[in-house]
């Protein structure tokens, strides 16, 4: 940053040849450790004239920078966040941040009179400068940052000059200060130091000339006179004052208080500690700000997360920046068996810590507050206010305008205070939790890493819980980690086992917060222990607790402020693992069986009502058996289909748990209705592996209830889910049963839907002629009803089937008709799918430009709808339109992203298709060994799901790679098998292409030396 923008790593330097790459790195590095929004990045890159598709361009540049970081061994540093990106890097590894940190430390040392130490740090800071900041980067943002960084360097140069003046190096300073004065023509601070240096080495005339020059420049350029400080210096020089009178020396230091209690060394928390140190460094450097507060708040909001330990270690780290003392005060808000400190007691303790005798303390509270604020008026100290009750208590204890720093820990969310900053403190990452356990229990007894990992997981990665368990192990020489683990999993429960003799069990820490709640807050907290899923919203809480919605929302807000619940995403709430167990325990002990059963029944009914309403909005045209379930309680007001799908995604685990609860507790009808309401979404979002079990149970329920109509629909849902799981034979069985039942009950609508799905199934199986037959039957049925949307569905499937049969004319005719139908019906999702199919057709018929246009339009639609599987499929098709090897890197990035999505969703057929495309791109780049590996993997996946078309194309592509590698016999076998499969499925075009490849191969075999 302090010169040309470069990346350093693995003893390599990447000079970032592109200015856009440099801007991306510069933007993110300037805010290292903090997310930068995409809007900000776009503005910084292009000022107010972004390109037509700024997001697409931004993604390209980010991908390029990510590859550069990966090449330097920094993979994972560039992290995508919601609507933005984060350079996940310690700011001290960025030269501009390192410079600022060093200068702040130097300033603090200089203020304490430690000039030599300060000079060493200033020299280290100045060595970081390699030229003009952000050299060569265009734009308003880069220009603005250059100005800020240049000003910071000037401030550091002035500190160095002050030290030089105090040490009497007057003549040495004159040349550098003269150059600075010419560069900053009206800067009075530079002029003052140059006048002092000239006067100090006996050049009185030069000193006076500097003043006169600056005076004339100020008058001519700004219409102003010199300031009071410069005029006073001029007066002293005119009166031949001793040089000592001109120097600015720090005041003699007095012993500074240091009342930090003994504490454990911090394990982990490097990111949080770095944030605090960074804030403290800025606060120390920013003398214009009246007050800086860092409030240590926990997102998890629970006791034992390590707020105090972090604050004390942070104070140790930043003490050198605040030479006037480090004071800690425990306000005892949540100390069992102790009374919390009053404001007067707290102020008295704070004032006494700074050396004021008890006899000098005023009795009036207002006078006491004034004395406290006066003490810190000019002091630069760190004050730790530990276990603050709320913002009101904190407000009474804050100093007035002061350069001091206040660190605050609190179990409640603190708001309404100007300048307050927060550090979100969550539970420990797994690796840090493991390290903490070993630091307490000892490494010798914790060598079984797997067992220790299970122990810290059962402690919820909560520092207090980990310390209590490690302490128990350390105090019991005969215990092993396996014994402790067995007690946690098979004993009286985790809450009773996580304890030690001195501090009791961990539930006691939770109990202090719980008992301080109001009655209705305690009720809601108890019932939250019964919720179905990991997160819950206010609507579900209202049903669970039988409270009005506005009351439920207010109580959740109170629990959030008390940090007894978390808000991992907007208006969705959860509990930490141990707090969840604590809530369940008190629900079991303080609520009757009947009350718990009624609460769960209310919640299950709400789940059905809300899921059904969301399903009807998200999938308005799908086949249904029932009228809408009456909404006995309010449901979320989704504005559109995307919002409804987002809610279903957020609630998925809870909704599936509700279905399982109903199915296993004798409420099988409610479970079957829930399965139906969730069917489309689960298939859509890649959760069919869980969904088909629900539909199998629903099918059995409706069969036993002799409800043939609902049984047919459950069988169709079951077949759809099994198809998504590539369990094609089981799907065919389900569809066949549904079709038979539809014919027996004279249900043409269900029969037509079953035929439609059978056509899709046979397409997956690669039996295109059979698929064509089923789709043609479906088309005839819907043509009689005049349902244009259903006709468009049929046309779309006929188009893609004709495409794979090699009949491109019929394919295009049907796909164009489908596109018109979906456009008229305003079905954007299927419209986008049809665009993708059209792009495939155009790609096969050498019309790459239009294929890419179709895909760009489809990707825009699907990205807005946030449908991962279809976005991934579109990316594969988009990569297919590119040229290898020219665009190979971009192609492989797109393929890899899509492959990751398909693997996460368990979609083996599309994963096979993606691996085939990757292999083809590598083949075109003459990377035949890698190409063969991808095709073998594609072949393995295609065979595992019975996808005949994908199997045939993988065989053909593998044979071509093997031919290039000289494996001619294996290639011939694979081509022969590919031809057989293609002919069996009616894929005439594919069979013809494979025959051509086999003919060329036979010729090569004959020419091969014997």
pLDDT in tens, 560-576: 888 888 888 889 999 98
- C-alpha angle 807/809/811, rounded to 5°? 70
**Which pLDDT value is given to residue 955?**
95
Q: What is the pLDDT of residues 979-991, one digit of tens each?
A: 998 888 777 778 8
Mean pLDDT confidence for 686-692: 85
Model pLDDT, residue 817: 95
Dump the DSSP string for 946-971: T-HHHHHHHHHHHHHHHHHTT-HHHH
State residue 994 phi and psi, 5-degree precision: -65, -35
The arithmetic mean of pLDDT across residues 11-21, rounded, is 81
Which of 78, 50, 47 lies closest to 64, judged by CA?
78
Q: Give the 3-state secondary structure of 34-71.
A: CCEEHHHHHHHHHCCCCCCCHHHHHHHHHHHHHHHHHH
Phi-psi region of 444 (alpha: psi -120 to 50; beta: other; left: phi over 0): alpha
Question: What pLDDT is stored for residue 77 in this prediction?
Answer: 83
Give yes or no for a contact between 789 and 1006, defined as CB atoms under 8 angstroms apart. Answer: no
Question: Which pLDDT belongs to residue 297?
Answer: 34
Tokens of 288: 């214009």
pLDDT band at 147 (very low <50, low <70, confident <90, very high): confident
Contacts for 39 with CB less than 8 Å, ≥ 6 apart: 83
Residue 445's SS3 state is: coil
3-class DSSP state for residue 182? Answer: helix
CB 939 within 8 A of CB 955: yes
Model confidence at 290: pLDDT above 50? no
Residues 6+ apart with CB under 8 A from 148: none
* Cα distance between residue 556 and residue 565, in whole Å: 8
The count of C-alpha atoms lying within 13 angstroms of the C-alpha of 660, restricted to the half-sphere facing its C-beta, is 12
CB 330 within 8 A of CB 387: yes
Q: Using an 8 Å Cβ cutoff, are 648 and 614 in contact?
A: yes
Q: Is the pLDDT of residue 131 over 70?
A: yes
Confidence class of residue 47 from pLDDT cuts 50, 70 and 90?
A: confident
Instruction: Find which of 29-38, 139-148, 409-418 is predicted with most confidence, using mean pLDDT.
Output: 139-148
pLDDT in tens, 890-911: 999 999 999 998 888 778 888 9
Three-state SS for 448-462 is CHHHHHHHHHHCCCC
430-444 pLDDT per residue, tens: 999 999 999 989 998
b/e map of 555-564 (b: 16 or more CB within 10 Å)? bbebbbbbbb
Write the DSSP string, 641-695: HHHHHHHHHHHHHHHHHHHHHHHHTT-HHHHHHHHHHHHHHHHHTT-HHHHHHHH
Token pair 């929302």: residue: 553
**CA–CA separation, 173 vs 1002, rounded Å?**
86
- The tens digit of pLDDT for each residue in 747-792 reads 999 999 999 999 999 988 888 899 999 999 999 999 888 889 999 9
Q: Is the dihedral of CA 22, 27, 31, 35 positive or negative?
A: negative
- Does pLDDT of 627 surpass 90? no
What is the share, in percent, of the chain residues with pLDDT greater than 70?
95
Residues in the chain: 1010
Question: What is the secondary structure of 383-407 as a DSSP string?
Answer: EEEEEE--HHHHHHH--SS-S-EEE
pLDDT given for residue 300 in this prediction: 36
> Stretch 300-309: mean pLDDT, rounded?
76
CB contact at 8 A, 821 and 1003: no
Q: Of the ranges 101-105, 294-298, 524-528, which one carries the lowest mean pLDDT score?
A: 294-298
User: What integer is the mean pLDDT of 339-347?
Assistant: 89
Assigned token pair, 954:
């993988």
Average pLDDT score, the chain: 87
Q: Are strands 499-500 and 504-505 parallel, antiparallel or unpaired?
A: antiparallel
Which has more pLDDT, 785 or 977?
A: 977
Question: Is the distance from CB of 800 to CB of 830 less than 8 angstroms?
Answer: no
Other Cβ atoms less than 10 A from the Cβ of 958: the count is 28
pLDDT surpassing 90 at residue 698: yes
- From 113-127, 552-566, 769-783, 929-943, the region with the lowest mean pLDDT: 113-127
DSSP secondary structure letters along 97-148: HHHHHHHHHHHHHHHTT-HHHHHHHHHHHHTT--SSTTTT--SHHHHHHHHH
Helix segments in 666-767, DSSP class H: 668-684, 688-704, 708-724, 728-744, 748-765
Which residue, among 599, 479, 480, has the nearest Cα to 545 in the 3D structure?
A: 599
Mean pLDDT on 624-647: 82
Backbone angles phi, psi at 932, to 5 degrees: -60, -40
pLDDT at site 245: 83
Block residue for tokens 């240590």: 296
pLDDT at position 835 is 94
Bridge partners of residue 36, in order along the sequence: 85
What is the CA 92 to chain-centroid distance, rounded?
A: 22
> pLDDT value at position 505?
73
Alpha helices in 296-342 (DSSP H): 307-318
| Contacts for 351 with CB less than 8 Å, ≥ 6 apart | 361, 368, 371, 372, 375
User: pLDDT for 204-213, tens place per residue?
Assistant: 888 899 889 9
Rounded to whole angstroms, how far apart are CA atoms 854 and 840?
A: 9
Residue 945 vs residue 181, higher pLDDT: 181
**Cα–Cα nearest to 614, from 657, 652, 643, 634:** 643
* Chain centroid offset of residue 907 CA: 24
Task: Inform me whether the pLDDT recorded for 449 exceeds 50.
Answer: yes
Give the per-residue pLDDT at 24: 86
Q: Are strands 292-297 and 420-424 parallel, antiparallel or unpaired?
A: parallel
Residue 328 pairs in a beta bridge with: 384
pLDDT score of 686: 77
Least confident of 256-270, 348-362, 603-617: 348-362
Percent of the chain with pLDDT over 90: 37
Does pLDDT of 291 surpass 60?
no
pLDDT exceeds 90 at position 247 = no
Q: Which of 176, 196, 438, 422 is nearest to 292 (CA)?
A: 422
Looking at residue 738, its pLDDT comes to 96
> Would you say 1004 and 963 are in contact if contact means Cβ atoms under 8 Å apart?
yes
Q: Residue 294: which pLDDT band, with cuts at 50, 70 and 90? A: very low
Q: Is the dihedral of CA 782, 788, 790, 791 positive or negative?
A: positive
Instruction: Kindly compute the dihedral angle of the four CA atoms of residues 129, 131, 133, 135, in this order, to the nearest 10 degrees.
Output: -150
**Structure tokens given for 25:** 């790195």
Q: What is the pLDDT of residue 360?
A: 67
Q: What is the tens place of the pLDDT at every residue in 854-891?
A: 988 988 888 888 778 888 888 998 898 899 999 999 99
CA atoms of 512 and 501, how far apart (whole Å): 18
Q: What is the pLDDT of residues 212-243, one digit of tens each?
A: 998 998 888 888 888 888 888 888 888 888 88
- What confidence category does residue 295 fall into, taking pLDDT thresholds of 50, 70 and 90? very low
Q: What is the pLDDT of residue 926?
A: 95
């Amino acid at each position: 940053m302090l010169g040309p923008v470069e990346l350093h790593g693995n003893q390599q330097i990447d000079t970032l040849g592109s200015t856009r790459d440099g801007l991306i790195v510069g933007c993110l590095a300037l805010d290292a450790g903090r997310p930068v929004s995409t809007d900000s990045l776009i503005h910084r890159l292009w000022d107010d004239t972004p390109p037509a598709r700024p997001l697409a361009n931004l993604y390209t540049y980010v991908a390029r920078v990510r590859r550069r970081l990966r090449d330097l061994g920094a993979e994972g540093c560039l992290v995508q966040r919601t609507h933005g990106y984060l350079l996940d890097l310690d700011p001290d590894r960025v030269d501009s941040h390192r410079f600022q940190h060093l200068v702040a430390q130097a300033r603090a040392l200089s203020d304490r009179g430690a000039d030599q130490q300060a000079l060493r740090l200033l020299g280290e800071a100045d060595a970081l400068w390699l030229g003009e900041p952000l050299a060569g980067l265009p734009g308003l943002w880069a220009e603005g940052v250059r100005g800020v960084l240049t000003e910071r360097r000037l401030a550091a140069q002035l500190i160095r000059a002050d030290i030089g003046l105090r040490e009497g190096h007057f003549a040495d300073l004159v040349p550098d200060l003269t150059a600075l004065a010419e560069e900053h023509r009206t800067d009075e601070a530079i002029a003052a130091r140059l006048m002092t240096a000239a006067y100090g080495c006996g050049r009185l005339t030069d000193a006076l000339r500097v003043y006169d020059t600056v005076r004339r420049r100020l008058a001519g350029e700004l219409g102003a006179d010199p300031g009071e400080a410069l005029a006073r210096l001029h007066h002293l020089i005119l009166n031949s004052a001793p040089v000592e009178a001109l120097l600015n020396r720090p005041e003699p230091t007095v012993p500074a208080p240091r009342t930090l209690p003994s504490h454990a060394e911090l394990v982990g928390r490097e990111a949080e500690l770095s944030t605090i140190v960074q804030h403290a460094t800025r606060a120390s450097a920013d003398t214009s700000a009246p007050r800086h507060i860092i409030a240590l708040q926990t997102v998890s909001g629970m006791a034992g997360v390590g707020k105090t330990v972090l604050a004390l270690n942070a104070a140790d780290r930043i003490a050198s920046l605040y030479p006037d003392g480090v004071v800690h005060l425990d306000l005892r808000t949540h100390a069992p068996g102790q009374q919390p400190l009053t404001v007067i007691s707290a102020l008295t303790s704070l004032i006494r810590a700074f050396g004021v005798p008890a006899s000098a303390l005023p009795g009036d509270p207002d006078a006491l507050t004034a004395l406290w604020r006066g003490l810190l008026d000019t002091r630069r100290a760190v004050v730790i206010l530990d276990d603050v009750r709320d913002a009101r208590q904190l407000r009474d204890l804050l100093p007035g305008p002061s350069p001091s720093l206040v660190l605050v820990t609190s179990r409640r969310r603190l708001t309404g205070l100007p300048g307050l900053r927060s550090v979100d403190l969550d539970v420990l990452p797994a690796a840090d939790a493991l390290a903490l356990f070993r630091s307490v229990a000892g490494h010798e007894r914790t060598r079984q890493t797997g067992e220790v990992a299970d122990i810290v997981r059962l402690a919820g990665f909560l520092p207090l819980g980990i310390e209590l368990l490690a302490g128990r192990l350390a105090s019991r020489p005969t215990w092993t980690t396996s014994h402790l683990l067995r007690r946690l999993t098979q004993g009286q429960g985790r809450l009773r086992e996580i304890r030690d003799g001195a501090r009791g069990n961990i539930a006691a820490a939770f109990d202090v917060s719980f008992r301080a709640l109001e009655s209705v807050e305690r009720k809601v907290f108890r019932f939250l222990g019964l919720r179905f899923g990991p997160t819950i919203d206010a609507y579900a809480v209202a049903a669970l607790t039988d409270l009005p919605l506005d009351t439920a929302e207010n109580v959740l807000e109170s629990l959030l402020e008390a940090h007894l619940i978390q808000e991992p995403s907007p208006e969705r709430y959860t509990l930490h693992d141990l707090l969840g167990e604590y809530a369940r325990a008190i629900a079991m002990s303080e609520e009757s069986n009947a009350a718990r059963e009624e609460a769960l029944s209310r919640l299950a009914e709400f789940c059905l009502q809300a899921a059904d309403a969301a399903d009807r909005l998200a999938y308005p045209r799908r086949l249904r058996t029932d009228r809408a379930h009456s909404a006995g309680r309010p449901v979320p007001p989704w504005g559109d289909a995307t919002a409804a799908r987002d809610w279903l995604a957020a609630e998925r685990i809870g909704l599936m748990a509700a279905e399982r609860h109903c199915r296993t507790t004798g409420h099988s009808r409610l479970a079957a209705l829930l399965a139906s309401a969730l069917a489309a979404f689960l298939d859509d979002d890649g959760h069919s592996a869980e969904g088909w079990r629900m539909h199998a149970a629903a099918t059995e329920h409706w069969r036993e209830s002799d409800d043939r109509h609902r049984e047919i629909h459950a069988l169709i849902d079951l077949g759809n889910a099994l198809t998504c799981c590539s369990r094609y034979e089981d799907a065919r069985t389900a569809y066949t049963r549904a079709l038979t039942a539809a014919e027996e009950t004279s249900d043409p609508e269900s029969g037509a839907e079953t035929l439609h799905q059978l056509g899709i199934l046979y397409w997956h199986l690669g039996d295109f002629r059979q698929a064509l037959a089923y789709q043609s039957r479906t088309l005839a049925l819907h043509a009689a009803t005049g349902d244009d949307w259903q006709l468009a569905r049929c046309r779309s499937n006929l188009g893609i089937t004709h495409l794979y049969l090699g009949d491109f004319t019929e394919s295009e005719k049907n796909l164009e008709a489908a596109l018109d139908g979906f456009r008229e019906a305003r079905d954007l999702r299927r419209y986008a799918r049809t665009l993708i199919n059209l792009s495939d057709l155009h790609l096969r018929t050498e019309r790459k430009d239009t294929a890419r246009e179709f895909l760009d339009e489809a990707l825009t639609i699907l990205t807005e709808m946030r449908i991962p599987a279809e976005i991934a499929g579109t990316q594969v098709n988009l990569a297919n339109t590119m040229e290898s090897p020219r665009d190979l890197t971009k192609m492989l990035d797109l393929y890899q992203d899509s492959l990751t999505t398909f693997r996460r969703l368990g979609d083996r057929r599309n994963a096979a298709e993606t691996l085939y495309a990757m292999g083809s791109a590598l083949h075109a780049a003459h990377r035949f060994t890698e190409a063969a590996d991808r095709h073998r993997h594609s072949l393995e996946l295609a065979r595992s799901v019975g996808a005949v078309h994908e199997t045939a194309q993988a065989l053909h592509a593998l044979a071509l790679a093997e031919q290039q590698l000289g494996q001619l016999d294996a290639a011939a076998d694979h081509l022969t098998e590919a031809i057989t499969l293609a002919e069996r499925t009616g894929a005439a075009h594919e069979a013809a292409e494979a025959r051509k490849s086999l003919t060329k191969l036979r010729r090569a075999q004959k020419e091969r030396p014997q």
